[in-house]
Structure 1
Amino acid sequence: MATFAFTDADSYVLNCSTLLTELPVMERAQAAKDAGFGQVEFWWPFDGNPRPTSAEVDGFIASLESAGVELKGLNFWAGNMAGGDRGMVSIPGAEADFAANVEIVVEIGRRTGCRAFNALYGLRVDGADPEEQDRIAAANLELAANAVAAIGGTVLVEPVSGAEAYPLKRAADAAEVVDRVRARGVDNIAMLADFFHMSINGDDVAAVIEADAAKFGHIQIADAAGRGAPGTGELPLQDWINRSYELGYTGAIALEYKQDRETAFEWLAN
């Protein structure tokens, strides 16, 4: 079991879509606060609906304000995650819904102060031309980045494990997409370095950190194997975090692991 230099909960951003899942979404911000966290992030919190009502958006923001937590990260609409979708950025035919979703994301960012927005790329679609999917993705990412630029936001692109048809598996895959969009004149787009996904997919995480830490837009962690809390697996998470900061990373560390509510935060008390 790997060692980890534990600190207080408020040093981290708590992902309320992988943790506290025993509770309804609108109760998780308060539960995070009760557990000692003042910063949270969410996947898209509206059950796969790209166009929630104003009342639904108001309710989500009210849950954050009532709890007194800061929203530090939010995913764009990613389709039906429970049904296997992993983003809509590259999906043919989803452009109008994605564009409408971007407008809502910007509104949430403006009202909450959130400035980091994760755009899951989407799976390869049977019968679709991968090059056409990549063209769609570049256009959607450019649109999203230009929209969140108005509030000082950054679009994040993430390598993901566990979905064979997801084309961005390693850090280099995500970096290539970031570079492709930057070539279109966009500068507020960066890689989300999820150390768990990168490790599971075979990246040399330490080497990626050495090369690119200063360019990371966000870091998420979970231990491996198992995607549990820090210290439940074998990854040298503390070393990777420390080195990222030494090399110029200036962002937060988000906890995106999966564990039951009763034991999820025991590691912070050790």
Structure 2
Amino acid sequence: MPKFAPNLYHLFTELPIRKRFAAAAAHGFDAVEWHFPYELPKHELKALLTDNGLQLVHALMPVDQSVTWGLAGQPDKIDEFKRSAELALEYAATVGIATLHPHPGQMPPQYSQEQCLDVLVSNLDYFCAQAASLDLTLVLESVCTIRAPKTMLRTLGQAAEVVKEVGRPNLKVLYDSYHVRNEEAGSLCAIFDEFQEVIGHVQIANVPGRHEPGVGDVDLQYFISHMHECGYRGWIGLEYDPLKDTASSLSWLANYKGIRAKLSK
């Protein structure tokens, strides 16, 4: 059965952040994503997860709020990247983050694409080496130009090339259906099949509005079934914005055993 993890940056936002963990557990989830776990002290975060029987399966690398998107591909922010990596590893070691996204950031105007990619490869190699003792996978995400016009990595193929160049076993790609559908030609299933061996995490949201399955142009439940039939057993992050509210946006999960009973309460 597929495994789902709501993203607490997008779901349960009707509640303050500390209450979102209990809400996720009450709806039958065993895991969550959260972009910014560093907003809470790491031991408090661990207690929230433990008390609610949850795993933290995906987070972003910490980044200064004045910086757009990320640090990993920024030639003038290498020291800042390393400090950010250190903080991320502290949290991963304490709370057990399963996958972490070190976003390269958007293209800075003063550097070439080649310069940025060279720095990205070097930074990721460093981060992977530092993370080698942890049960942690770094995942590199491609981002559609609708969301980030100056994005450094637009396609899964570009992200996969970076992963190949780094050559570390704890670095993979993140497959996000929203970004893939907005940026790439071909079906979601065909693109998944092409890159399945290097996919370390999956997130779903529909297009065009980044809403839940059943609201939009793509049959995401068919895509979920396809991934499962192909042997994907990792977590599927629910990184969508509910059309109305969180509770109603989860009604499609009644089709999945283990979630159904808790949703019906």
The TM-score range, normalised by the shorter chain, is 0.7 to 0.9
Tell me which residue corresponds to 1:191. Answer: 173
Distance of aligned partners of 1:266 and 1:239 in 2 relative to their CA distance in 1, 3 Å threshold? closer
One-letter amino acid of the structure 1 residue matched with residue 13 of structure 2: T
Tell me which residue corresponds to 1:213. Answer: 196
One-letter amino acid of the structure 1 residue matched with residue 177 of structure 2: F
Tell me which residue corresponds to 2:86. Answer: 103
d(CA) in 2 for partners of 1:43 and 1:87? 12
1:13 to 5, 9, 14: 5
Please say if 1:76 is aligned against 2:61: yes
Tell me which residue corresponds to 2:250. Answer: 265
1:1-270 alignment to 2 at 5 Å? Answer: 11-46=3-38, 56-80=41-65, 85-161=68-144, 162-182=147-167, 186-204=168-186, 205-259=188-242, 260-269=245-254
- Identity %, equivalent residues: 28
Which consecutive unaligned segments of at least 5 residues does structure 1 have? 1-6, 48-54
Conserved 8 A contact 2:25-2:52: yes
Task: Give the CA RMSD over aligned residues.
Answer: 2.2
Larger deviation, residues 122-131 vs 61-70: 61-70
Distance of aligned partners of 1:139 and 1:44 in 2 relative to their CA distance in 1, 3 Å threshold? farther
Q: For residue 132 of structure 1, report the CA deviation from its aligned partner.
A: 1.6
1:62-105 alpha-carbon deviations (Å, 9 max, x no partner): 3222322111112112443xx78222111233222221222222
d(CA) in 2 for partners of 1:119 and 1:28? 24
Aligned residues: 250
Distance of aligned partners of 1:217 and 1:11 in 2 relative to their CA distance in 1, 3 Å threshold? closer
Larger deviation, residues 19-28 vs 214-223: 19-28
Which consecutive unaligned segments of at least 5 residues does structure 2 have? 256-265
Conserved 8 A contact 2:205-2:212: yes
TM-score, structure 1 as length reference: 0.84
TM-score, structure 2 as length reference: 0.85
Distance of aligned partners of 1:44 and 1:94 in 2 relative to their CA distance in 1, 3 Å threshold? farther
One-letter amino acid of the structure 2 residue matched with residue 244 of structure 1: M
1:185-234 alpha-carbon deviations (Å, 9 max, x no partner): x2211110111110011342232122222321111101112111111112
| 3-state secondary structure, aligned to 1:217 | strand
Conserved 8 A contact 1:118-1:158: yes
Q: For residue 24 of structure 1, report the CA deviation from its aligned partner.
A: 2.9
| 3-state secondary structure, aligned to 2:103 | coil
| 3-state secondary structure, aligned to 2:172 | strand
Conserved 8 A contact 1:86-1:166: no
Tell me which residue corresponds to 1:50. Answer: none
